[in-house]
Amino acid sequence: MSVLKEFRDFAVKGSVIDLAVGVIIGGAFGKIVDSLVNDIIMPVISTLLGGHIDFTNLFILLGNAPANVPNTYEALKKAGVPIFAYGNFITISINFILLAFVIFQMVKVVNKVRASDAPPPPPTPEDVVLLREIRDSLKK
């Protein structure tokens, strides 16, 4: 029974629950950033590059594709054909950079809020102030 009690105590600690909430919110936030990249940013970038380029379909075929498989990233991956998918890498890299930037901004805001919420340092005790004055006058 003591193992179960220890596990229960561990599971209900605030840090474990905070971690679980962070993982859940992080997963949902990752989906939001993924949608931002795939649905908003990548179409704009592909239009700026001169056409409606689907970055996931930018790849180099490294093997022979079966004749009945369409020449798309998803179909070739499903068929097990080796491909060098640099377009998908570009999309995921942009996704990572945006996610890292947003998290950096969030941490910056949280640190600013924590700094403003911190209590002011306690005033220096009177005896320390008096001792400093004595020290300074002795130095002169």
Give the domains, in start order, of the chain with CATH numbers.
Answer: 2-120 (1.10.1200.120)
Query: In terms of DSSP bridges, do strands 60-61 and 83-84 run parallel, antiparallel, or are they unpaired?
Result: antiparallel
CB 55 within 8 A of CB 46: yes
Per-residue pLDDT of the chain (140 residues; tens, 9 = 90+): 688 888 777 777 767 777 788 888 888 888 888 888 778 887 887 788 777 666 777 888 888 888 888 888 888 888 888 989 898 888 888 878 887 887 888 888 888 887 777 777 888 899 989 999 999 999 98
Which residues partner with 83 through β-bridges?
61
